[in-house]
Amino acid sequence: MSENETRRRFLATAGALGTALVAGCAETGSTDGADGGMNDGTNETGMDDGMEGVTDPADAPRATIDRFSEAAGMLMVRNEENDLPGPDEPIDFDQAPFLTRGLGPGGEPVSYYNFDVQPTEPAPIYVLSREGEDVPVAEQLNIVDVVPGDEGYNDFWHVHEVTVPADYEANTATSVQDLMDADYDITGTDVVKNCPIVPEGSTASKRAGDGETNLIDGWYDGEVVSYFLFEEAPLTVTDGSVPVSPIYVTFNTNPGMDGGGPQSGFMTEMGIDRTHNVVATLPGDDGYSPLWSVSVYDNADFDAVSDLESAMAATLLEAGTATVNCPIVAVGRESRTTGGSM
């Protein structure tokens, strides 16, 4: 293998990076990095000869984001009947069908967002740090190579560390192709972050604990994207996959019947919007993951289901039918929703 090929390869590592790098999707700080030497192939400003210079994110174009196109959505696909937001329209995730009230393993009330079906294989996100430093480059946006609707997109991101020259200027690189052309070292970590890419102006104001609710900007092929960050529990990649946890759900009409399954909406208690969807784990529990493996139980058992034990005793119609991104944002208290349920 040539030296260049060795430099380009993704170096898998079992250990996490330093605390700041482990944040992965979080915005970086504003302190300047240290000065130092240059890698071969860079000019005196610290950028690769093939790059065009620093790009101010405020002046850069924004990528078009549509989570509800046929290419991007599975459970939530826009049509004439559901009035889901169009491309680049801000999404209010604090209302139905995006916020669901269910039950925890002990029957405690929980609330979670619904970001639709996601695969178990995470997509890479690239975090840049200068040689000799263990913190991200200040003001450099993280870089992704896919957005909703692209093949390989996932709300769950596998954090990769990119080592850039000591005199690298923030936002010189704005695409994965820039990183490849510059021949930077790229090291895969074991860290996974839940960062759904959404249209600018979208809101999701609830978090378990004290997590930040603001949107974070990143780069995608020279364009700016925005994403949320959910950190109610640490996640690590396992055998190349995002960990999953079970959830048991039931619908107004059972799957297999005319109009049945997700299109009929979750069954809820009379007069209120609480489902009897039961999650097997909570943030802080061993095995918790916001990527849920969905099993569907017979809606005839709805009234009998009040916790994990009763959900597991219900008549199971489908097991492991999908994996959905539903980060828990409240435990033991109610989060009211508005609008219809899905």
Q: What is the rounded average pLDDT for all residues in the chain?
A: 87
61 within a domain of the structure (yes/no): no
What average pLDDT does this structure show over 269-296?
Answer: 96
| Whole-number Å distance between alpha carbons of 156 and 119 | 9
Exposed e or buried b per residue across 97-131, where buried means at least 16 C-beta atoms within 10 angstroms of its C-beta: bbbbbbbbbebeebbbbbbbbbebebbbbbbbbbb
Q: What is the dihedral of CA 322, 325, 329, 334, to 10 degrees?
A: -40
What average pLDDT does this structure show over 310-314?
Answer: 98
Assess whether 297 and 194 both reside in one domain: no
Assess whether 162 and 113 both reside in one domain: no
More confident residue, 21 or 31: 21
Task: Kindly indicate the confidence band of residue 209, based on its pLDDT and cuts at 50, 70 and 90.
Answer: confident
258 within a domain of the structure (yes/no): yes
Tens digit of each residue's pLDDT (9 = 90 or more) over 319-342: 999 999 999 999 996 555 444 333
| Whole-number Å distance between alpha carbons of 94 and 82 | 17
Assess whether 229 and 148 both reside in one domain: yes
**Of 236, 270, 293, which residue constitutes the final position of a domain?**
236
| Whole-number Å distance between alpha carbons of 92 and 331 | 21
What's the pLDDT score for residue 334?
57
336 within a domain of the structure (yes/no): no
Q: Six-digit token pair at 149?
A: 């609707």
CA angle (19 as vertex; 16, 21 as ends), nearest 5? 70
Q: Over the Cα atoms of the chain, what is R_g?
A: 22
Share of the chain above pLDDT 70, in %: 82
Q: Six-digit token pair at 35?
A: 């000065």
What average pLDDT does this structure show over 230-254?
Answer: 97
What average pLDDT does this structure show over 75-100?
Answer: 95
Domain that holds residue 146: 3-33+122-236
**Of 236, 253, 278, which residue constitutes the final position of a domain?**
236
What average pLDDT does this structure show over 122-132?
Answer: 98
Distances (CA, A) of 175 to 125, 140, 150, 178, 269: 11, 12, 15, 5, 48
Assess whether 175 and 302 both reside in one domain: no
Assess whether 133 and 232 both reside in one domain: yes
| Neighbouring C-beta atoms of residue 285, cutoff 10 Å | 14
**Of 178, 208, 236, which residue constitutes the final position of a domain?**
236
CB-CB contact of 251 with 302 (8 Å): no
44-53, 92-101, 319-328: least confident range: 44-53
pLDDT at 28 over 60: no
What average pLDDT does this structure show over 304-330?
Answer: 98
Tens digit of each residue's pLDDT (9 = 90 or more) over 139-186: 999 999 999 999 999 999 999 999 999 999 999 999 999 999 999 999
pLDDT at 49 over 70: no
3-class secondary structure, 57: helix
50 within a domain of the structure (yes/no): no
Assess whether 284 and 141 both reside in one domain: no
What average pLDDT does this structure show over 4-20?
Answer: 35
Assess whether 153 and 126 both reside in one domain: yes
pLDDT at 265 over 70: yes
